């Protein structure tokens, strides 16, 4: 159902970073204080996290927000 | 929904939820009584009118507190779902009004506003939840 609510033009490396650490979505959610569904929605690009959540994720993965999230080419 | 709240706070919340339900039910009952009682003065009827919307305020507070303990993803779903519900509710009222004017629905029928609002809200939030889950 594309187009009604345009998907955020942001790519992220969350799934890769999580897989590298062997964490489940639930485990990552618990670490940053959100639900498994929220992590899934961020990973699949259905939901852009707030700045505080993005910063928490970056801290958990010991990286920067810019290294985790980037705009789709052309945006 | 990973945010946890202390047991004491949860107990207070549930107690307040029960109180809100009681206020909602009896608020409407008393409001109806004051409005439709033939012996009510104009002032009492106005009191009945005021009680109807005021009775829902504790429930709105329960909703706000509920929203404050869910994470930002669910908060987004509820916010967008509420917007959808607002449109659905308007459409339902317009359709009902048109149906009455067309005499396909009796003029003695009326909409239970609270019930219609709750159903619209549930549909709106459910649609939004399904949309966020299913969209590519």
**B83 has pLDDT over 60:** yes
Is B73 close to A34, i.e. CB distance below 8 A? yes
Distance from CA of B101 to the nearest CA of A (A): 33
The 10s digit of each residue's pLDDT in B37-60 is: 999 899 999 999 999 889 989 988
B46, B49, B51, B53: CA torsion to nearest 10:
-140
Please indicate if any CB of chain B lies within 8 Å of the CB of A47. yes
Can you say whether the dihedral through the CA atoms of B123, B125, B129, B134 is positive or negative?
positive
Distance from CA of A2 to the nearest CA of B (A): 7
Q: Per DSSP, what are the bridge partners of residue A11? A: A70
pTM of the shown model: 0.74
Please indicate if any CB of chain A lies within 8 Å of the CB of B75. no
Please indicate if any CB of chain A lies within 8 Å of the CB of B32. no
Is B73 close to A7, i.e. CB distance below 8 A? no
Cα B107 to Cα B17, B102, B103, B104, B111: the distances in Å are 36, 10, 7, 9, 11
pLDDT at residue A74, as a whole number:
67
pLDDT at residue A8, as a whole number:
54
Q: What was the ipTM of the complex prediction?
A: 0.77
Please indicate if any CB of chain A lies within 8 Å of the CB of B67. no
The 10s digit of each residue's pLDDT in A13-59 is: 999 999 999 999 999 999 999 999 999 999 988 888 999 999 999 99
Can you say whether the dihedral through the CA atoms of B125, B128, B132, B135 is positive or negative?
positive
* CA atoms within 13 Å, Cβ hemisphere of B87: 9
Please indicate if any CB of chain B lies within 8 Å of the CB of A24. no
Chain B residue with the nearest C-alpha to that of A37? B73
Tell me if residue B136 falls in helix, strand or coil. Answer: coil
Q: What is the mean pLDDT of chain B?
A: 88
- Contact list in B for residue A60 (CB cut-off 8 A) is none
Tell me if residue B52 falls in helix, strand or coil. Answer: helix
**A6 has pLDDT over 70:** no
Is A34 close to B2, i.e. CB distance below 8 A? yes
């Amino acid at each position: 159902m594309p187009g009604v609510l345009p998907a955020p033009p942001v790519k992220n490396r969350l799934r890769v970073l999580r897989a590298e650490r062997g964490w489940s979505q639930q485990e990552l959610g618990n670490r940053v204080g959100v639900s498994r569904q929220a992590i899934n929605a961020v990973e699949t690009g259905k939901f852009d996290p707030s700045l505080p959540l993005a910063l928490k994720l970056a801290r958990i993965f010991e990286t920067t927000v810019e290294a985790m999230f980037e705009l789709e080419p052309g945006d | 929904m990973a945010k946890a709240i202390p047991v004491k706070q949860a107990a207070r919340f549930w107690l307040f939820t029960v109180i809100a339900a009681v206020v909602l039910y009896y608020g409407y009952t008393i409001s109806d009584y004051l409005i439709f009682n033939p012996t009510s003065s104009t002032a009492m009827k106005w009191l009945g009118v005021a009680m109807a919307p005021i009775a829902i305020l504790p429930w709105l507070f329960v909703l706000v507190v509920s929203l404050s303990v869910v994470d930002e993803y669910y908060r987004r779903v509820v916010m967008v779902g509420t917007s959808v519900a607002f449109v659905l509710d308007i459409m339902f009222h317009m359709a009902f009004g048109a149906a009455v004017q067309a005499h396909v629905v009796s003029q003695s029928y009326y909409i239970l506003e609270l019930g219609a609002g709750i159903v619209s809200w549930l549909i709106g939030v459910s649609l939004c939840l399904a949309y966020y889950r299913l969209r590519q």
